[in-house]
Structure 1
Amino acid sequence: MSDLKRRRFVGIGSGLAFTAAAGTGLATAPAARAGTGTARTARTARAADAVAVAVTPSDSRYPDLTSGNNLRWKAAPDKVVLPRTTAEVVSAVQEAVTGDKRLSVCGGGHCFEDFVFNADIRININMSLMSAVSFDPSMNAFKVGSGATLLDVYEALYEGWGVTVPGGICHTVGVGGHIPGGGYGNLSRQYGLTVDHLHAVEIVVVDAAGQARAVVAARDSSDARLRDLFWAHTGGGGGSFGVVTAYFFRTPGATGAAGALLPKAPSKIFLTLANWPWDKVTEEGFSGLVDYWGTWFEQHNTAGTTAGSLYSWLMLNHRDSGSLAAVVQLDASLPNAASVLSDFLAGMDQALGLHSATARHDGVLDSQYTTTRLMPWLRGTRYIGAISPTQLDPTTRGCHKSAHLRKRTPQRQIDAMYAHLTSDDRPSTMTGIVLSASGGRIASVSPTATAVAQRDAIMKVNFESRWYAAADDAKNTAWIRGAFGAVYGDTGGVPVPNDVTDGCYINYPDGDLSDPAYNTSSVPWHDLYWKQNYPRLQQVKRDWDPRDVFRHRQSVRLP
């Protein structure tokens, strides 16, 4: 590999952050190394310390616990509670209800909006100390504390049992919010969404009398109300029904020993990074790339095939960043994997009109713009989650918007993207539009079997800007709003469900969807997220949170 390619593989172009499915709450540190035992915990405490931590404004820890990954959003609660047991969560919730104090819950740190951190919050429950990953024989399922990060989960499941769940690319995201929003990542076209392997949730709820208690809701619960509560956590989003303390994972229909109850992680993956300098990209080439990428995934969408398992992110960074980029991942053990990947990569270069010398690397045909490595799956997962210089940066501010697409990007939308990505209004260099592949195994599940309604989408689109100074808020939010409104200008400034677009992703929440100044369509924000599934979510809300204790700006509303 040339020095140029080695440098490109370490830092991908502009550094536009990769945004996997977002969680809600504060990030936790990676766990200690696990063996093959039954449990792994990211934080261990002596018995004498096994009591909920309460952090008040006079505590030195308070500033670190009152904002998340997006520094636009901060809170000033009376206290932050860090429980270690479900009983302590019940106690914290009961205190909030009895004292009529507004409550929020942190489970990861990457919430794009102010749902966790805002001026109304008086008690914040931070789940980061409840981060153990283990196998629960009584449930015959893997138990994951809702304070765990995705990397905690990946390392524990893989090192202990050789299995995994198809979660997000950003390993500091917390499972607390990632999972109830659906959860997807680089293995989702091969194995489906994270919630397709969810078996049960343990959740603290509040009844009509104001009494907090913990219940376990499973896919196969005998009580229909509990089954509905479980269903609501398969895409209904976080913060609407209660405080999840643990998730239990077992693939439906799986039997046998623990190592057979979840998908086997690939032994090795092909991981490709592509980088195309903007000064070599014409408008025609840009259009060709976006059209080729979408067309390829529209045509290669069959679950169980090698092409139907290939995953890619296409980073359409603003021109001021210097380059466009892509990430591609494919299980190297699949039939003809090297050939399928080579053809896909060559097509991107050709669509851009960039033809260059090629060479074989690990069996894959690379060009001067692409670099492919064959590496063990867990190492690749750790690596890909850390290659963006902004992805793990806890000092940025941000603005995000999303869309699902059921077909390739229409030319009018491509033209609008190009116009904004080449604008002279100087947004942050960490600004752009990210396309991420969907489909494959995801589409094999009914849109009503889980709360995730957009099952036949072939891609997600994320409009994103990150920056550092509060003085730059207006400039960067204006760019995102302008670009998003222009791209979906023919449907009221939002991706209204139709034969091409299919609403928005709840794990990339967008407060503007509730604002008639930015959503001029006739489709309300909740239908953009959940479509036909929203009325059922409202019924679950009525049954399990009749006092609306668990709420934020875009939580499920009582019917």
Structure 2
Amino acid sequence: MGEIPTLPTTVVRPGDKRYPALSRGFNQRWIAAPEYVRLVRTPEEARAALAEAVNEVPADPARTRITVKAGGHCYEDFVCGADVRVILDVSPMCGVSYDSAMQAYCVEAGATNWHVYSHLYPVSGKALPGGSCYSVGLGGHIPAGGFGLLSRQHGLTVDYLYAVEVAVVNADKTVRLVVARRDDEDERLAELLWAHTGGGGGNFGVVTRFWFRGLPEPPKQVLLTALAWDWKDFTKDEFAGLVTAYGEYFHRHQDAASASGKLFGLLKLNHVSNGQIGLLAQVDVDDPDGPQAMTDFIQAVDGRIGPPATKMRSVMGEHFVHMDIPRVMPWLTAAQALNASGENRCGKYKSAYLRKPFTEQQISAMWAYLGKEEYTGYVNKQALIQVDSYGSAINRPLHDTAVRQRDSVLKLQYQVYWTRQDADEDTHIAWIRDTYKATFAETGGVPVAGGDATDGCYIGYPDADLNDGRWNESEQSWETLYYKDAYAKLQGIKRHWDPLNVFRHAQSIRPGPES
């Protein structure tokens, strides 16, 4: 085969056979109808494409937004919405290299988690502590404050972010590329870097490149365990015992230098129609205490309940790991085994940070709404509450970041999936809304930020319901739930770097008042 010819930036319009695929993302619930999708391959192409888009006159006044797509995993319609006019797709820009001038590893914004794992690690021995879903694009994952199975050991991805390059739109509609460093003497540039350490993607401009310093080395080997329990064996007391033991374990083990503090778990509280509750866990076995930490963890959780542990027999959210016994394997092999890309389905998601183990009220609500007392006629194997371990190194950040939730021990992701052919979309959305609202009934239906037991929501799992008084009856706005005290500073940064509010959606940073 010959080389792919050098062509002008690719523009895909309606009628092109590629258009249907490129105008949607991972969540099939959201399909856009833009005037065009433009794929960019270099930072300069991104700058020029943005400049052209900003200065065009929309053909349809109802479709004016310009959005940026990397891996396409945005859960809401922020990228692929009905009001989108242009999608700038940076996925062809996916290089990974070492920048000697910057003394940092450079990763382009279209790269995915798997690009970093499979391209950076083999040549450097370094890794980002990113997510298990390796088709997620870093253009969204990093600015959200992405985390993964190495995060209790090494912190968040943004803890290693040193610099970022962004195409920004000036007040006169000209566009320039700027590089912002963590230690920039120019305060405005340092603030732009800070905004990308948890301020969310698609807020300030088009990110083209990230630079990371001090990246950690993942373990040579990890011990991976997958267990499940059959729902039919659970009483409410058994369920309470399981989720309490899980929460208490991670509340107690918060020392990232210890094997137990490095251990990461994912508890899959599936709807009863799935038939099972699942558990995935990984621990560093370069640490000689790693195997014993896994044994102690399983004993702490499984030993607290009567139902016998068995194998996973079905997909649970975005995971299905069928293993006969706990297995030691190279870290990169384990990352591949746990890949959680899942199917391209319709979905709805919600999140919560927990600072303490589950309360009795929360446990009762989850028991009821997972199908034991409410929604007993609801059948959906792919409705669940996923409980990720959190804390340890995450709670001791290396630098100040825009991620403000730095003392939580658990991170929840409510998930429900269905296909576009399913006529019961409203039923699925009602289930997740009602379940979430019941769980946090004591605080207005949401996990309030700075609460005794909760600390808000994760912008990486956006939820437009937080804008709606029917589902958020607390006194906290979505801005506070995501960003806490960082929001005012983010607003000032937004006003300076995106004065025309080009990059906007239902939960984008709103420009702050002029100072």
Q: Common fold, TM-score beyond 0.5?
A: yes
1:462–1:545 Cα change, 3 Å: same
State the alpha-carbon separation in 1 of the partners of residues 186 and 425 from structure 2: 48
Number of residue equivalences? 490
Query: Contact (CA 8 Å) 2:446, 2:472: kept in 1 or not?
Result: yes
Query: Contact (CA 8 Å) 1:184, 1:193: kept in 2 or not?
Result: yes
Unaligned runs of 5+ in 2: 58-63, 311-321
Matched, 1:96 2:70: no
Aligned residue number for residue 433 of structure 1: 385
Query: Contact (CA 8 Å) 1:427, 1:479: kept in 2 or not?
Result: no
Matched, 1:64 2:14: no
1:15-414 correspondence to structure 2 within 5 Å: 46=3, 48-100=5-57, 101-251=64-214, 262-354=215-307, 371-386=325-340, 391-394=341-344, 396-414=345-363
State the alpha-carbon separation in 1 of the partners of residues 324 and 356 from structure 2: 26
State the alpha-carbon separation in 2 of the partners of residues 235 and 464 from structure 1: 22
Query: Contact (CA 8 Å) 2:228, 2:309: kept in 1 or not?
Result: no
Q: Which has the higher contact order (CA 8 A, sep 6+)?
A: 1
Q: Deviation at 1:335?
A: 3.3
State the alpha-carbon separation in 1 of the partners of residues 231 and 390 from structure 2: 26
1:45–1:153 Cα change, 3 Å: farther
Aligned residue number for residue 466 of structure 2: 513
Q: Deviation at 1:49?
A: 2.2
* Identity between Structure 1 and Structure 2 (%): 44
Aligned residue number for residue 416 of structure 2: 465
Query: Contact (CA 8 Å) 2:36, 2:87: kept in 1 or not?
Result: yes
Query: Contact (CA 8 Å) 2:230, 2:307: kept in 1 or not?
Result: no
State the alpha-carbon separation in 1 of the partners of residues 309 and 90 from structure 2: 50
Q: Deviation at 1:45?
A: 10
Query: Contact (CA 8 Å) 1:427, 1:476: kept in 2 or not?
Result: no
Aligned residue number for residue 431 of structure 2: 479
Q: 1:489 aligns with which of 441, 451, 467?
A: 441
Query: Contact (CA 8 Å) 1:306, 1:337: kept in 2 or not?
Result: yes
Q: Deviation at 1:371?
A: 3.1
Stretch deviating more after TM superposition (278-287 or 498-507): 278-287
Q: Deviation at 1:58?
A: 1.5
Q: Deviation at 1:286?
A: 0.7
Secondary structure (helix, strand or coil) at the match of 1:228 reads: helix
Secondary structure (helix, strand or coil) at the match of 1:478 reads: helix
Secondary structure (helix, strand or coil) at the match of 1:129 reads: coil
State the alpha-carbon separation in 1 of the partners of residues 162 and 330 from structure 2: 28
1:79–1:73 Cα change, 3 Å: same
State the alpha-carbon separation in 1 of the partners of residues 309 and 478 from structure 2: 46
String of CA shifts for 1:209-254, please: whole Å, max 9, x gaps: 2111100011111211000000000000001100001111112xxx
Query: Contact (CA 8 Å) 1:275, 1:370: kept in 2 or not?
Result: no
Aligned residue number for residue 530 of structure 1: 483
Matched AA of 2:87: N
Q: Deviation at 1:427?
A: 4.1
Query: Contact (CA 8 Å) 1:406, 1:499: kept in 2 or not?
Result: yes
Matched AA of 1:377: W
Secondary structure (helix, strand or coil) at the match of 1:504 reads: coil
| CA RMSD between the two structures | 1.8
1:419–1:131 Cα change, 3 Å: same
Query: Contact (CA 8 Å) 1:295, 1:408: kept in 2 or not?
Result: yes
State the alpha-carbon separation in 2 of the partners of residues 279 and 370 from structure 1: 21
Q: Deviation at 1:516?
A: 1.0
